[in-house]
A and B are shown apart, each in its own frame.
Chain A
Amino acid sequence: MAQLRQDYEKFVRLDTEIIVAGPENAEAFKNYWEKEKLPFIGLPDPEHKVLKLYGQEVKIFKLGRMPAQVMIDKSGKVRFVHYGHSMSDIPANEEIISLMKSL
């Protein structure tokens, strides 16, 4: 998250919004966002609606507990997916940023 915040401006310059979805409730999101001063959109998803949707329809997920990133372009197509194998398995933002630049 800290890394993502640091790189947020780079994403903004590439016309990219960041949405962070997670299983916590709105209050937990709010507290965390305020504490960490995060600029992105926070989507509490305690019922795993988005997770399930993506797991079922795009088959990105094994409905596990691992982090994942999905990049969707302006036309609504999935252009990048990373499914983490562990909590720390998160792709470098640079990797995603350079991909966005090539679109």
Chain B
Amino acid sequence: MPRVELNVQSPDFTLNDFNGKSVSLSDYKNKKNVMVVFNRGFF
């Protein structure tokens, strides 16, 4: 099973949210912690 690499720098990403606003992981650097949840469908 592929596993965790803890304590490494997390790769940055940029995507638009569902309202079209650009969101980058790096927006939060030195400001907030971020929990990214990878979801498998809503239904």
- Chain A residues close to B by CB (< 8 Å): 1, 4, 11, 14-24, 26-30, 32-33, 40-45, 49-51, 53-55, 57-62, 65-81, 83, 87, 96, 100, 103
Contacts and interface: CB of A to CB of B under 8 A. Distances in A.
A100 B35 CA distance: 10
Contact of A80 (B6, B28, B32): B6
Q: Size class of B's contact patch?
A: 35 or more
Q: Which of B6, B19, B42 has the most CB of A within 10 A?
A: B42
Contacts of B26: 76
B38 A17 contact: no
Contact of A59 (B5, B9, B31, B37): B5
Given A41-B23, A42-B17, A72-B25, A77 B10 contact: yes
Interface in B1-21: 1-13, 15-20
Given A53-B13, A60-B4, A20 B39 contact: yes
Contacts of A1: 39, 42
A77 B34 CA distance: 10
B35 A69 contact: yes
Contact of A77 (B3, B8, B12, B28): B8
Contacts of A50: 13, 15, 36, 38
